[in-house]
Amino acid sequence: MSCPCFIFMDWWWRCTAGCIRSTIIMHEKFDPRRTWETIAKERCTLLMAVPTIYHRLLNEWERLKPNLETMRVFISGSAPLSENLYHRFEATTGIRILERYGMTEAGMITSNPMILRGENRKAWDIRFQGAA
């Protein structure tokens, strides 16, 4: 987990992990190489991080090309994820980032559609009458 430990989402994940008896791996300081190595070695299934961390992870990808077979979801929050980074990350790793909004205030208010690896689902949107 690479998100601030004072946001609501952090506390929610900690409680959930405890309830389902999963393991949370937290590093004292972010290092992209160490993060990729930990994901592969510990067979991690989820990473929560801010867009800057995903950018730095991509910069380290070519040197390591870690095994991501156990990864189920990468979650981004706390800052807008650029469309360019979203597409580059998927093209490089084969996994789409799940971007969520409102994680600081409420756990999650909204999200882009969660599409798992290999799944080909069309996104849909909701428009309000009178909205441009």
Summarize pLDDT for 66-108 with one digit per residue, the tens. Answer: 999 999 889 888 788 899 999 999 999 999 898 876 656 655 5
The residue among 126 and 86 whose pLDDT is bigger is: 86
8-79+89-111 CATH fold: Rossmann fold (3.40.50)
In 3D, which of 98, 127, 128, 117 has the Cα closest to residue 9?
A: 98
Give me the phi and psi of 117, to 5 degrees please: -55, 130
**Amino acid letter at 103?**
M
Coil/strand/helix, residue 32: helix
pLDDT at 89: 95
pLDDT at 1: 46
Q: How far is Cα 70 from Cα 72, in angstroms, rounded to an integer?
A: 6
- pLDDT above 90 for 2: no
Cα distances from 110 to residues 15, 36, 57, 103, 106, in angstroms, run 21, 28, 25, 9, 10
Q: Give the pLDDT confidence score for residue 8 in this predicted structure.
A: 57
Q: What is the pTM of this model?
A: 0.72
Q: What is the pLDDT of residue 14?
A: 63
Where in the chain are the domains?
A: 8-79+89-111
pLDDT tens digits along 12-47: 666 666 666 677 788 889 999 999 999 999 999 888
